[in-house]
A and B are shown apart, each in its own frame.
Chain A
Amino acid sequence: MIELRKVYLDHSATTPVRPEVAELVREYMTRCFGNPSSVHSFGREAKAGLTKAREQAAGAIGAHTEEIIFTSGGTEADNLALRGAAYAYANKGKHLITSAVEHHAVLDTCKELEKEGYSLTVLPVDEYGLIRMNDLRRAITPETILISVMHVNNEVGTIEPIEEIGALAKERGILFHTDAVQSLGKIPIDVKKMNIDLLSASGHKIYGPKGTGFLYAKRGIKLHPLVFGGGQERKLRPGTENLPGIVGLGLAAALAVREMDMETARLQKLRDYMIKEILEKINDVQLNGHPDIRVSSNVNISFKYVEGESLLLSLDMKGIAASSGSACTSGSLDPSHVLTAMGICHEVAHGSVRMTLGHDNTEEDIKYVLEALPPIVDRLRAMSPLYQQNRKECAGCTLKK
């Protein structure tokens, strides 16, 4: 039997660890196992690894080393940024601004702060998932202490105008946090030029280990720690460092940034080819997200009259791994909050499939997917009571709850 071709198109969910990174992680688990806080040679060696990783992380975003706080991932970095700053600056004001398309690590943290007595403005987005600068300007009050808008959206790949937001925040003396989990290594980041005060990053989206990440916090910014203990990470994240993870994250970040230009150009070509072919080959489809202001790795398409989970299952049987914004895949049985915020009706959100490209994907892979996809869509549509009923597109959004 010939082996089924495997095509992994879920790089926004997670990525495989690069072999050279895995090798380094192993080295810091076995040989250089010391505690960076110890004075002896084992400790000093570990400390050197920690220092280097900090330089690599800082270098990837144009920051100073003392501005990097290693965390357990993007979620913790978002929490530390938002709650840490909200608590530290509560005496200045208690108003926060974020966007409707943020990752739950930001949105739910903001909502939690709202319960604790902060006021929250959630900015709407346009049909492409972009916030409007005018909405942001209008939302700012004398009480506003923090704006949090992500760099690249994890579901639709839309790139938010973070440089403009940074400039505005600076002018008004408001802190600006951006969740850069989906942009690091894909889009150049310069925290100084972009006036970013706080930035979250995650290791497992850049071919580093899971459970690793960092928060960049600009010099002079006060943060209230979320956990208490030893003096590690300037007391902002106490506890013996996850050194193997941290050195892996550092190397992964350095490599991602070094290879960014070439890889971005390559992926963008694959992405555009894939989008063009799907839109041409299959009828009743729509691209979700912005056609151009879009990260190189993201393809998000709605196949109308088809439900996303059944599409994913069918793709999986062909060895193709993707994800969906369908209510049926969400656990909560709600459609993606991102697609909903973009004004995409329930029916179309249902048929959304996200395919995110990465290192291992070749043109052959994409051709294989483009061949597998149309018969799958045809089969499911033939089963769908919604198809070929001459109903007007989204007539009254019959599927709305």
Chain B
Amino acid sequence: MYTEKVMDHFTNPRNVGEIENANGVGEVGNASCGDIMRIYLLVEDNIIKDIKFKTFGCGAAIATSSMVTEMVKGRTLAEALEVTNKAIAEALGGLPPVKMHCSNLAADALKRAIEDYQAGQAS
């Protein structure tokens, strides 16, 4: 049911955990099945220096979380905001149709975390 890439990211997820001095945190719950993902960002000079995640969810949710962190680490915030859930799914070699919603979780959590960072900067 899952591609090798998905299984790889599920088995050896990249960037799991928390960042103690994070300056952006985003948490989203999945309306479809009730899962939760949290992303921690450390942003310096508009660049994502470090990113970590924690996810409570299915194999696809964990794999997309892992993948999104890999895709945006070292990127500018503007670049990170362009990452869509479709792009994440594609980077994983595709997801089963019933699991597409799980990739929304990752994209949304990232967006929230960036918004949280930007709100912190504005104040």
Contacts and interface: CB of A to CB of B under 8 A. Distances in A.
A333 interface: yes
Interface string A368-393: 00000000000000111110000000
A383 B54 contact: yes
A385 B55 CA distance: 6
B36 A310 contact: no
A307 B61 CA distance: 10
Given A310-B62, A385-B36, A305 B56 contact: yes
B34 interface: yes
Contacts of B35: 307, 328, 350, 399
B94 interface: no
Interface in A310-359: 310, 313, 317, 326-329, 331, 333, 335, 346-347, 350
A328 B57 contact: yes
B36 A328 contact: no
A40 interface: no
A400 interface: yes
Contacts of B10: 310, 313
Nearest to A381: B56
For chain B, the bracket of interface size reads: 20 to 34
A384 B54 CA distance: 5
B36 A386 contact: yes
Query: Of residues B34, B36, B54, which shows the largest number of chain A Cβ atoms within 10 Å of its Cβ?
Result: B34
Interface residues of A, number: 26
A399 B29 contact: yes
B38 interface: yes
Interface string A269-309: 00000000000000000000000000000000000011101
Given A327-B33, A399-B29, A385 B58 contact: no
B34 A401 contact: yes
Query: Of residues A326, A328, A346, which shows the largest number of chain B Cβ atoms within 10 Å of its Cβ?
Result: A328
A309 B36 contact: no
A328 B34 CA distance: 9
A398 interface: yes
A399 B13 CA distance: 24
B16 interface: yes
Contacts, number: 70
B44 to A, nearest CB: 24
Interface string A205-244: 0000000000000000000000000000000000000000
Contacts of B33: 327-328, 333
Interface in B1-58: 2, 7, 10-11, 13, 16, 27, 29, 31-38, 54-58
Nearest to A324: B58
Contacts of B122: none
B56 A384 contact: yes
B74 interface: no
Contacts of A307: 35, 56-58, 61
B55 A331 contact: no
B98 interface: yes
Interface string B81-117: 0000000000000000010011000000000000000
B54 A310 contact: no
A384 B101 CA distance: 19
B59 A313 contact: yes
B37 A385 contact: yes
A398 B29 contact: yes
A332 to B, nearest CB: 9
Given A328-B35, A385-B37, A306 B56 contact: yes
Contacts of B16: 382-383
Contacts of B29: 398-399
Given A383-B16, A385-B27, A310 B57 contact: yes
Nearest to A306: B56
A85 B10 CA distance: 49
B59 to A, nearest CB: 5
B34 A310 contact: no
Nearest to B59: A313
A385 B56 contact: yes
Closest 6 pairs between A and B when the two form their complex, measured CB to CB: A328-B58, A385-B54, A309-B58, A327-B33, A399-B34, A333-B33
Interface of B: 2, 7, 10-11, 13, 16, 27, 29, 31-38, 54-59, 61-62, 98, 101-102
16 contacts: A307-B56, A309-B59, A310-B57, A313-B10, A317-B11, A327-B34, A331-B98, A333-B98, A333-B101, A347-B34, A382-B16, A383-B62, A385-B27, A385-B54, A399-B36, A401-B34
